């Protein structure tokens, strides 16, 4: 058994392993080329997060999906570069919106330089992704544009909050489908399309990508609460400090409103308060870690991963399908 780096995914087929490793290596080369500028400072800023590493989850999904056609087709690796560049660009913008200090274990671009540099660098990466997309054809441009519209809509919905009377949990899951699921769905779609896979396979991998994308983000949300920071690459409890209510917090609030237990109401009030003070933040984080809301959020993560796995039954048994099923297990393992 060998291991492919992203998420610790185990691949048991040597030919598949070789294809995936070669594809991811080509993506890394493409990322360095795409972030190269005639202006040295732009190159430095654009490569800041590329060099910081990351899971490369989206390019990995491109490579695995391409196995259902010709994985060596010329558009496969460039499409992997496109989805990762788009993802990286959103991280630059997210860090400005969240006033984050750390990303992937290194200082965020906005804290190292300034908000304006981070925003413009994100824009630069979007532009470079668009240039690559243009060479892949108008259909790919259209798919990416639709996904990006969903991504931005998800971000706006998160900022606006749920409409009056809307279940906050349902609203949050809709936000994740847009913010995270849309681009990961495109990763599966791009890999299948550029490899020449059948349309039915393209549709299956797109649906799989959306489900596994939501599970992936829910696992990340849990890591923000439960990890020590080494695995998530950012300071634990960042979402709490910034007042971002992820699924565990939403489940806690629902339990507090439903059952009116004093300890739940007290914790909900603490989480809604200003947590910039380190001692209050540490208290809130410790108490939330022990609350059943975290286990409930884990069950939701497992459910989405199970849905993703079930979708794959429409595909023929093969090493690539086994690896995609393994991604479901890897995401669940991250959720702890």
- Are the beta carbons of 223 and 96 closer than 8 angstroms? no
Six token digits for residue 60: 């990995």
CATH number of the domain encompassing residue 93: 1.10.600.10
Say whether 163 sits in a helix, a strand or coil: coil
In a domain, 29, yes or no: yes
In a domain, 1, yes or no: no
- Are the beta carbons of 35 and 43 closer than 8 angstroms? yes
- As a whole number of angstroms, the distance between CA 109 and CA 119 comes to 9
> In this predicted structure, what is the pLDDT of residue 218?
95
Range of the domain at 189: 10-335
Most confident of 49-53, 228-232, 240-244: 240-244
User: CB neighbours (10 Å) of residue 264?
Assistant: 20
Q: What are phi and psi of 9, to 5 degrees?
A: -65, 130
pLDDT tier for residue 122 given thresholds of 50, 70 and 90 = confident
In a domain, 80, yes or no: yes
Proportion of the chain above pLDDT 70, given as a percent? 89
pLDDT tier for residue 177 given thresholds of 50, 70 and 90 = very high
In a domain, 2, yes or no: no
| Cβ-proximal residues to 233 (8 Å cutoff; 6+ apart), any chain | 52, 54, 102, 103, 104, 105
In a domain, 189, yes or no: yes
In a domain, 113, yes or no: yes
- As a whole number of angstroms, the distance between CA 94 and CA 40 comes to 24
Whose CA is closest to 183, among 92, 86, 79? 86
Proportion of the chain above pLDDT 90, given as a percent? 66
User: CB neighbours (10 Å) of residue 329?
Assistant: 14
- Concatenated DSSP letters for 52-88? T----HHHHHHHHHGGGS-TT-TTHHHHHHHHHHHHH
pLDDT tier for residue 72 given thresholds of 50, 70 and 90 = very high
In a domain, 192, yes or no: yes
Mean pLDDT of 212-232: 84
Mean pLDDT of 275-286: 91
Q: The tokens 């991250």 sit on which residue?
A: 334
Surface-to-core class of residue 269, CB atoms within 10 Å of its CB (0-12 exposed, 13-18 middle, 19+ buried) = exposed
In a domain, 4, yes or no: no
Six token digits for residue 247: 């699924």
- As a whole number of angstroms, the distance between CA 224 and CA 98 comes to 14
336 pLDDT exceeds 80?
Answer: no
Say whether 8 sits in a helix, a strand or coil: helix
Ramachandran region, residue 317 (left: φ > 0; alpha: ψ -120 to 50; beta: rest): beta
212 pLDDT exceeds 50?
Answer: yes
pLDDT tens by residue, 303-317: 999 999 999 999 999
pLDDT tens by residue, 85-97: 999 888 887 766 6
H-helix segments, the chain: 14-34, 40-46, 48-51, 57-65, 76-98, 109-112, 115-136, 138-160, 168-176, 182-195, 199-226, 238-241, 247-259, 262-272, 278-289, 292-311, 319-335
- Are the beta carbons of 79 and 140 closer than 8 angstroms? yes
Report the mean per-residue pLDDT for the chain: 88
103 pLDDT exceeds 70?
Answer: no
Describe the crossing of helices 199-226 and 278-289 by its angle, rounded to 10 degrees: 120
5 pLDDT exceeds 50?
Answer: no
- Concatenated DSSP letters for 251-294? HHHHHHHHH--HHHHHHHHHHHS---SHHHHHHHHHHHHTSHHH
Q: How many domains does the chain have?
A: 1
- Are the beta carbons of 315 and 68 closer than 8 angstroms? yes
């Amino acid at each position: 058994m060998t291991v492919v780096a992203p998420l610790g995914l185990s691949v048991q087929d040597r030919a598949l392993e070789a294809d995936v490793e070669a594809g991811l290596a080509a993506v890394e080369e493409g990322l360095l080329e795409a972030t190269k500028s005639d202006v040295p400072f732009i190159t430095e800023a654009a490569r800041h997060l590329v060099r910081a590493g990351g899971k490369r989850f989206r390019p990995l999904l491109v490579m695995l999906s391409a196995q259902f056609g010709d994985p060596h087709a010329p558009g496969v690796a460039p499409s992997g570069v496109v989805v990762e560049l788009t993802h990286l660009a959103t991280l630059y913008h997210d860090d400005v919106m969240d006033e984050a200090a750390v990303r992937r274990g290194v200082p965020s671009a906005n804290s190292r330089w300034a908000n304006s540099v981070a925003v413009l660098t994100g824009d630069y990466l979007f532009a470079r992704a668009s240039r690559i997309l243009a060479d892949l054809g108008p259909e790919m441009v259209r798919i990416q544009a639709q996904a990006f519209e969903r991504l931005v809509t998800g971000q706006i919905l998160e900022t606006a909050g749920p409409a009056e009377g809307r279940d906050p949990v349902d609203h949050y899951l809709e936000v994740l489908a847009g913010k995270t699921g849309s681009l990961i769905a495109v990763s599966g779609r791009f890999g299948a399309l550029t490899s020449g896979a059948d349309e039915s396979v393209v549709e299956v991998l797109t649906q799989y990508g959306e489900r596994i994308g939501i599970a992936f983000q829910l696992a990340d949300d849990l890591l923000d609460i439960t990890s020590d920071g080494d695995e998530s690459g950012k300071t634990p409890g960042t979402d709490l400090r910034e007042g971002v209510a992820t699924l565990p917090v939403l489940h806690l609030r629902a339990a507090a409103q439903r059952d009116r237990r004093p300890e739940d109401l007290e914790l909900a009030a603490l989480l809604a308060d200003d947590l910039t003070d380190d001692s209050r933040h540490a208290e809130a984080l410790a108490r939330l870690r022990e609350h059943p809301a975290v286990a409930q959020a884990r069950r939701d993560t497992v459910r989405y991963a199970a849905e993703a796995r079930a979708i794959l039954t429409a595909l023929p048994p093969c090493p690539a399908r086994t690896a995609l099923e393994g991604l479901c297990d890897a995401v669940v393992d991250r959720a702890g």
